Amino acid sequence: MKNYYILAINPGSTSTKTAIFKNDKSVFTKEISHSSEDLAGFEKIADQFRFRKELILKEIESFGFDINNLSAVVGRGGLIKPVESGVYEVNDAMLKDLDNSSFGEHASNLGAIIASDIAGSVPGARALTADPIVVDEMKDVARLSGHPEIDRISIFHALNQKAAARAFAEKKETSYEKLNLVVAHMGGGISVGAHEKGKVVDVNNAIDGDGPFSPERSGSLPCGILADFLFEKNLSKKEVRSMIQGKGGLTAYLGTNDVREAESMAAKGDDNAKKVLEAMAYQVGKEIGSAAAVLKGDVDAVILTGGIAKNSGTVEAIKEMTQFIAPVEVYPGEDELKALALNGLRVLKKETELKIYK
């Protein structure tokens, strides 16, 4: 059997996770941390490309791996045009949109850019991305927000949600396309998707503040009160974005984005920390109930995944609210590097159709 070596790259706001897979097994993995000082000199996220790429190559060299053995480099997908789920070749059209931040700035934008550059230096290697955060399979009825000037859009943790859903399907010896699932990814942002026979037909926009609040995001805020607050404070667009996306949720309430630290605070008698954690779990449970309604109650399982799924207190609180809907399955943490690599492997083995970004 032919061996394929695949480099997976997952850039985050303060780290770059990377791994080398031999077929479906990891042979090297590294999380490279980036301090605020490291990134302070870059005006745009796209400007961090060479800095992060060189760090990845340095780690690979230290490991002793020859990148000329790579068959593919798969980067996490970023903010591009809405696309259907699948694996995409990184092409000029995609790179142009990512370089120009045409659809917004996000650390994940760097994944495909770095993948393209590294693969371009290796004869025969392919640059790919899979299930980017803009996967859009929403029903038309789910797009109406309540005002014609504002549409609901699909931006969520597609890669990990789909990976957890497929892992559950494999466990049940069936296919993802035969199941109805509610999947909640709980990390720095929280997204809850209604998966109907292999498509995410409705999901909250986890970047722009829709849905439950999270360790760093404010979630859905009361519109009228928010409007009054913004006018009274005379905040800039940048300040508003920061309030919604980076300094909301646990960070705003408790001064930390670490759920473990918040749980420690609650365990030591901090009643406010306890209340805030309960509220976050409550909002996730409520969002799961909403997704179950989208599926008309025909739900095979509720799946909890992401870093927060490692915290037993939060998981148990969500289970208590939602286990009447369907059995609750927990896939703690996220293995997006493996999900990226496995998607790349499916392309190399010609088990899936490669899609073209236009």
pLDDT tops 80 at residue 345? yes
Please state the rounded mean pLDDT for residues 290-304: 98
Average pLDDT (158-169) is: 94
Give me the residue label for tokens 């990814």.
185
pLDDT in tens, 275-284: 999 999 999 9
DSSP structure class, residue 218: -
Same domain, 48 and 174: no
Q: Is residue 319 located within the same domain as residue 344? A: no
Tell me: do 62 and 36 sit in the same domain.
yes
Do 110 and 208 reside in the same domain of the chain? Answer: no
Regarding whether 99 and 177 lie in a shared domain, the answer is no
Q: 248 and 187, same structural domain?
A: yes
Residue 190 and residue 251 in one domain: yes
Q: What is the pLDDT of residue 156?
A: 93
182 and 320: one domain? yes
Q: What angle do CA 211, 215, 216 make, to 5 degrees?
A: 80
Mean pLDDT for the stretch of residues 294-321: 96
- The rounded radius of gyration (Å) of the Cα atoms in the chain is 20
Six-digit token pair at 210? 């829709």
Q: Are residues 191 and 126 in the same domain?
A: no
Tell me the residue length of the chain.
Answer: 358
The predicted pLDDT at position 207 comes to: 83
Instruction: Identify the pLDDT of residue 334.
Output: 81
230 vs 350: CA distance, rounded Å: 52
Task: Give pLDDT tens digits for 205-220.
Answer: 988 879 999 999 999 9
Alpha helices, H only, the chain: 36-39, 49-63, 92-99, 109-120, 158-171, 223-233, 237-245, 249-254, 259-267, 271-294, 312-322, 336-348
What confidence score (pLDDT) does residue 322 get? 98
Is the domain of 174 the same as that of 52?
A: no
What's 308's domain CATH number?
3.30.420.40
**Residue 45 contacts by C-beta under 8 Å, 6 or more apart in sequence?**
101, 105, 106, 107, 109, 110
In this structure, what are the phi and psi dihedrals at residue 233, rounded to the nearest 5 degrees?
A: -85, -15
- Looking at the fold, whether 315 and 341 belong to one and the same domain comes out as no
294 falls within a domain: yes
Average pLDDT over all residues of the chain:
94
Q: Check if the beta carbon of residue 48 is closer than 8 Å to that of residue 42.
A: yes
Residue 92 reports pLDDT greater than 90: yes
Give the tens place of pLDDT for each residue, 7-57.
999 998 778 999 999 999 999 999 998 887 888 889 888 899 999 999 999
Domain that includes residue 78, residue range: 5-135+336-356
Same domain for 171 and 305, yes or no, is yes
Q: 106-120, 127-141, 168-182, 234-248: which has the minimum mean pLDDT? A: 234-248
Would you say residue 152 lies in a domain?
no
* Total number of domains in the chain: 2
Q: Per the domain annotation, does 149 fall within a domain? A: no
Rounded CA separation 259/279 (Å): 13
pTM of the model: 0.88
Q: What are the tokens at 84?
A: 């259907």
Dist CA 199 CA 319 (whole Å): 24
